[in-house]
């Protein structure tokens, strides 16, 4: 099973640049085109939050127009830049989304890997949180299918990155998540967005990775007094490949046209 993860596209209204510098709509369209060019194509696309930049209905209209061109099934979660109500309305045809409250869900109908999405966003705030109710929901969902390879998807990552301008906006209550996932060995990966960079670490005895954004990359600055910045690095996405013999293997693919192919391996 091939699962693409696109994150943080920050779609804007037609003709408007993201942060006045990046054509995030064109970049998201390029990401979708690159998915379609993969052979074999992914079975499923995960969109891990910040689907639009300011939660505006005109942004969701543009997002849906772009996603109407996607020929692969997609599962969505909101990020801190999404508006929960406008988001829910924009995706009212996505029957797996609950009709009220946090948008937690579990979907296992696209192949062997089951996707369990935990909505850790807090409306109006940039950081996220896992409360007791969210941790209990996740524990119960994971207990339903203990032998099924599983991806847990959330927006804000539950750890301190070491990048000082990101860490105030992490997901709080990570110790609750670590306790839950450590009890469920079938969790092949916890996948997040939010930080606009690829990161990989062990978390709660499982493997956790964050996806780059399809638009800007947040600068990797590790000094405690560093000031916030971003770059127009080559955007990228993740491709999670599940096979019984390896478990889940994650590729990082830059988006764009590059010289090649050349006749050597």
Binding interface with Fe ion (CB under 5 A): 8, 50
Least distance from Fe ion to the Cβ atom of residue 193, Å = 6
Which residues is 250 bridged to in the sheet? 240
CB contact at 8 A, 254 and 43 = no
Least distance from Fe ion to the Cβ atom of residue 162, Å = 18
DSSP string, 57-78: HHHHHHHHHHHHT--S-EEEE-
By C-beta, is 24 or 150 nearer to Fe ion? 24
Least distance from Fe ion to the Cβ atom of residue 219, Å = 14
By C-beta, is 19 or 182 nearer to Fe ion? 19
Determine the Cα–Cα distance for residues 62 and 59; give it in Å rounded to an integer.
5
CA dist list (Å): 42 to 96, 168, 171, 218, 244: 20, 34, 29, 27, 17
By C-beta, is 50 or 59 nearer to Fe ion? 50
3-state secondary structure string, 124-192? CCCCEECCHHHHHHHHHHHHHCCCCCEEEECCCCCCCCCCCCCHHHCEECHHHHHHHHHCCCCEEEEEE
Number of H helices, E strands in the chain: 5, 15
By C-beta, is 8 or 119 nearer to Fe ion? 8
Least distance from Fe ion to the Cβ atom of residue 210, Å = 11
By C-beta, is 216 or 250 nearer to Fe ion? 216
Least distance from Fe ion to the Cβ atom of residue 78, Å = 11
SS3 33: helix
By C-beta, is 50 or 83 nearer to Fe ion? 50
Least distance from Fe ion to the Cβ atom of residue 79, Å = 6
């Amino acid at each position: 099973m091939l699962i693409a993860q696109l994150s943080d596209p920050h779609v804007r209204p037609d003709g408007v640049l993201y942060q006045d510098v990046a054509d995030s709509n064109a970049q998201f369209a390029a990401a979708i085109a690159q998915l379609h060019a993969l052979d074999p194509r992914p079975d499923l696309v995960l969109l891990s939050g910040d689907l639009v930049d300011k939660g505006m209905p005109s942004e969701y209209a543009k997002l849906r127009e772009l996603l109407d061109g996607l020929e692969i099934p997609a599962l969505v979660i909101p990020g801190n830049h999404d508006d929960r109500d406008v988001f829910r309305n924009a995706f009212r045809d996505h029957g797996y989304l609950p009709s009220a409250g946090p948008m937690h869900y579990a979907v296992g109908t696209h192949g062997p890997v089951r996707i369990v999405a935990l909505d850790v966003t807090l409306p109006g705030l940039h950081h996220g949180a896992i409360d007791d109710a969210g941790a209990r929901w996740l524990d119960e969902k994971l207990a339903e299918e203990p032998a099924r390879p599983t991806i847990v998807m959330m927006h804000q990552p539950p750890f301190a990155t070491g990048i000082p301008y990101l860490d105030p906006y992490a997901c709080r209550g990570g110790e609750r998540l670590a306790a839950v996932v450590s009890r469920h060995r079938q969790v092949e990966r916890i996948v997040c967005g939010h930080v606009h960079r690829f990161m990989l670490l062990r978390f709660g005895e499982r493997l956790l990775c964050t996806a780059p954004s399809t638009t800007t990359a947040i600068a990797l600055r590790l000094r405690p007094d560093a000031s916030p910045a971003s770059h127009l690095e080559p955007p990228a996405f993740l491709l999670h490949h599940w096979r019984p013999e390896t478990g889940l293997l994650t590729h990082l693919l830059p988006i764009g046209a590059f010289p090649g192919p050349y006749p050597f391996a």
